[in-house]
Chain A
Amino acid sequence: MSNENGKVLKHGTQTRTMHWIHLLAFIILGLTGVGFYWDIGGIASIFGGEANASLVHRWTGVVFVVGPLLYTLLNFDRFSRFMDTISHFSKDDFAWLKVMGGYLPFIKADDVPPQDKYNAGQKILGWLIIIGCLLIILTGFPMWLWRHSVPAVFLSFCYDVHFWTAMVLILLVAGHFFLAAIHPKSRVEFSSMMLDGYIDAEITAHHNAKWFAELKESS
């Protein structure tokens, strides 16, 4: 354990706002979507019946698309740095993956390799969420706007991709939530994304040693 004092601004205001918007949209979309797929009348009635639930789903979908799109365009530098980080896998990342960051109880890990701003698991999650969102958004368009003109086979393909991608994303996000808000080792990160954006320097120095070294150098 290092003994660093001070605080690190991990996520800026816009990042946190985007994360909140995306999170809330995702919950509404997931809830209504699951309601449609398994035909759970109770969920639809929360949103005012089948047709209204569908309207809520679609317009929340618009928020789900526009939110990250605006963020990316307004914060192209942050986005670029993020893409750079998650697309760079070093030896340390693979070593981290080998012990799964020490999160799994049956893999013994005394010393977890030093990580970037995002650890290897978060990098993979980042990729999966980007690809998943892209697939869900792309398939959502024909299902809503061109549902009358596309062939049946294409429409059913879109429904399948939309649903299965959503299922994978829901599971990923559930895991993400568990690690970021519940797991005792990592829930310290919670405030950095959900509240003021700051995290203790000590934690950063421990969890994201490589990134912290960069921060120290530049400040």
Chain B
Amino acid sequence: MKLFHESEGITRRQFFKGAGMLTVAAVISGVFAKFGFDVFAASDDYITQRVAGLYTLDESMAIRKSHENPEIIQIYKDFLSPGKVECVSPKAHHLLHTKYGKDIPGFIAELKNPHHVPEVESAANEETSTEEPAA
């Protein structure tokens, strides 16, 4: 029985087609990677833009320092520390400060028992830490 086989070896044209296909595959991979890197580079742009938006808004504000806010001065004078601007006044401490972690249950009990508040607040020290302050 006669057996037919393909002849071995390749022509110049065939070589270029084979090598060309590999090149095309490499190029497609490159394009895909380029696309990936572009997306990667662009993916955080909005963060920069939003931050820039806030700084631009800051520059356009008439008042740019917290302690110069007239309503802040008013709330201290009218309410938090009547007659003056005193931060961490007893009332400010009661309304504007909190506790964390294991101190919370006691803190809630304290808040729910209002007549104790002034005494506790004047003794004001919620930081019961024994740690040395790091200088």
Contact = CB atoms under 8 A, between A and B. Distances in A.
B25 to A, nearest CB: 6
Contact of A7 (B3, B21, B25, B32): B3
A9 B35 CA distance: 44
Nearest to A7: B3
Contacts of A83: 14, 17-18, 20-21
Interface string A9-39: 1000000000000000000000000000000
A6 B28 contact: no
Contacts of A9: 3-6
B135 interface: no
A111 B28 CA distance: 40
A154 B10 contact: no
B13 interface: yes
A218 to B, nearest CB: 5
Interface SS of chain A:
helix
A40 interface: no
A180 B1 CA distance: 25
B67 interface: no
B7 interface: yes
B1 A5 contact: yes
A190 B21 CA distance: 27
Contacts of A177: none
**B: interface residue count bin:** 20 to 34
Given A138-B29, A154-B36, A80 B4 contact: no
B4 A84 contact: no
A5 B1 CA distance: 7
B40 interface: yes
Residue of A5, A142, A219 most packed against chain B (CB within 10 A): A219
B4 A7 contact: yes
B4 A201 contact: yes
A218 B35 CA distance: 47
Interface in B2-45: 2-11, 13-15, 17-22, 25, 28-29, 32, 35-36, 39-40, 43
A80 B28 contact: no
A212 B11 CA distance: 18
Interface string A182-206: 0000000000000000100100100
Top 3 nearest A-B pairs by Cβ distance? A80-B18, A6-B2, A151-B43
Interface of A: 5-9, 72, 76-77, 79-84, 87, 130, 134, 138-139, 142, 150-154, 157, 198, 201, 204, 212, 215-216, 218-219
23 contacts: A5-B1, A6-B3, A8-B3, A9-B3, A76-B18, A77-B10, A77-B14, A80-B15, A80-B19, A81-B6, A81-B10, A83-B20, A84-B13, A138-B32, A150-B36, A151-B39, A151-B43, A154-B35, A154-B43, A198-B3, A215-B6, A216-B4, A219-B5
